[in-house]
Chains A and B, each alone.
Chain A
C-alpha cells in the first residue's frame, strides 16, 4: 500500500506489522502525553520534587539525552570538518538520533518550565549572568541546525525527491552541510560545557564545586568531552539495536570499528581527565573548604562510594579499554557491552552532577533526603523514548537512512529465499551476480 514511499532496492515489513508497532509505541506516547497534560493543567504538585530535588528526574533525563545525542555533533565534526569520509555511512542515523535527543530535551524542558507559553521569555528577558541562558540559546540554535541536517534526509524520500525544487534544495543543503556541522559543533561545545559549568560554579555546593580555568570550571570541559566521547557509542548502540530488530546488517564493519575506536579513545582521555579531576577534588578542593570527600557518600541509604566506583571504573575505564583494544573492539559482544557500560556511565555522571549535588546536605540542619519520582514524572520521561521509537520507525521505513543497506542486503531472489547477511565483498559480488542472472532468465522467459 505504501510501497511507493519506501526507498528503492530495500525491503520493509508489511504495513500491518509496521502499524501494529506504531500503535504500541503510540500507546506509551499517549500515556506520557496524559501525564504531561496533568503537569501542565494541575501544576508541579504532580511531581515528587521538593526543596532538595528541585532538579529531579526531568533535568537528569534532559542532561542525559543531551550527552547521548552528542554523537550527532561529534560525528558531523569528524565527517564534514575533519574529513573522515567513511562516516558518511552512519552520519544520517547520528543526525536522526541527535534530532530525537534534542527535541526530547526541549520537550522535557517545556514540561519542567510549567508554563511553556512563556518559553520565549528566556530570549527576550535574557539573564546574561546565567550559564543556563547560554544553554537555552545554544540548545535552541543547535536544534535548528539538527533540523537543517535532518531536512535533506526527508527530502530524499522517493516521492519527494521527484519534485525538482526539493531535489535541488536537498543537494544544495548537502553541499553547505560543512558550515552547518561546524556551527553545530561550536554550539554544542558551549551548551554541553555550560551544563557542566552550572554545577562547577556552585561554591555553596562543595560536592560539585571545581577549580576554574579563567571563568570556566573543569566540569565545563569534562561535560563537553564526555558528550563527544559517549555520544558516538550511543549512536553505535542504537545502530546495533536497529540491526537486531530488522534482522539486517545496515552499516559495514569498518565504519562501526572506526567510530567505536574514536569513541574509545575519547572515553579513555575523558576518563583519565575525570579521574585527575576527582582526585584533585578529593584531596585539594574539598579539604580546602574544610570537608573530607567521604562525607559526601555517607549517612544515607543510596549515595554510597559504589556510585563513584561504578561511574569512573566500571562504566568509564572498562568500556574505554575495551573499545581501545582492537581484538575486543572487533568482537560484537564486547563492543556492545562497552557501549552499554558507557551509556550507563555518562547517564550516572549526569545524575550525580545534578541530583546528588543538590541533595547533599550543606547546612547543619539539612538532612539527606532521598527521592522517588512520581508516575507522572516517569511517564513524561518515557514519553520522549516512545516518540524516538516512532520517529526512528517512520524514518527507517520511508527514508534512505543507511546508504549501505541496499548493498548489504540485496533483495528479490526469484525462488523467494532470503539472502544470507554478509559483509564479505566477494560473497556480495557473487550473490549480486546470481540475482541479476536470475532476473535476466525470468525476463527472457
Chain B
C-alpha cells in the first residue's frame, strides 16, 4: 500500500491501482479538510449563530 511496505514494487500495476486509490483519498481528504476548516473559521466569526 505504501512504498516502504516490503511488498511494494515500482511497476505499472502499483502505479495504476495505488495511484487511483491515493488520488481518491486525497480528493476526499482535502475536500473534507476544506469543509471542516472553513466551518471552524465561519463559526469563530459568529456565522451561523442565531439563524433560528
Contact = CB atoms under 8 A, between A and B. Distances in A.
Interface string A170-200: 0111011001100100110010000000000
Interface of B: 1, 5, 7, 11, 13-14, 16-18, 20-21, 24-25, 27-28, 31-32, 34-36, 38-40, 42-43, 46-49, 51-52
Contact of B28 (A133, A148, A162): A148
A180 B33 CA distance: 13
Nearest to A142: B24
Interface in A256-271: none
A144 B28 contact: yes
A144 to B, nearest CB: 6
Given A124-B1, A125-B7, A169-B36, A145 B28 contact: yes
A128 B17 CA distance: 6
Contact of B39 (A123, A161, A169): A169
B42 A172 contact: yes
Given A128-B11, A180-B31, 6 more contacts: A126-B1, A133-B17, A134-B17, A137-B24, A164-B46, A164-B51
Interface residues of A, number: 32
Contacts of A164: 43, 46-49, 51
Nearest to B34: A176
A168 interface: yes
A169 to B, nearest CB: 4
Interface of A: 123-126, 128-129, 133-134, 137-138, 141, 144-145, 148, 161-162, 164-165, 167-169, 171-173, 175-176, 179-180, 183, 186-187, 190
Contacts of A171: 39, 42, 48
A168 B42 contact: yes
Nearest to A182: B27
Contacts of A175: 35
Given A172-B34, A186-B24, A190-B20, A128 B40 contact: no
Nearest to A162: B52
Nearest to B46: A164
Task: Give chain A's interface secondary structure class.
Answer: helix
Nearest to B7: A125
Contact of A128 (B14, B32, B46): B14
Contacts of A176: 31, 34-35
Contacts of B31: 148, 176, 179-180, 183
B1 A180 contact: no
A133 B1 CA distance: 12
Given A144-B28, A148-B32, A187-B24, A168 B38 contact: yes
Contacts of B35: 169, 172-173, 175-176
Contacts of A186: 24
The 5 tightest CB contacts between A and B, nearest first, are A128-B13, A164-B48, A169-B39, A168-B39, A167-B48
Nearest to B42: A168
Contacts of A168: 38-39, 42-43, 47-48
A25 to B, nearest CB: 31
Nearest to A129: B13
A40 to B, nearest CB: 25
A165 B40 contact: yes
Contacts of B46: 164
B17 A183 contact: no
Kindly name the residue among B14, B20, B36, B39 whose own CB sees the greatest number of chain A CB atoms within 10 A: B39
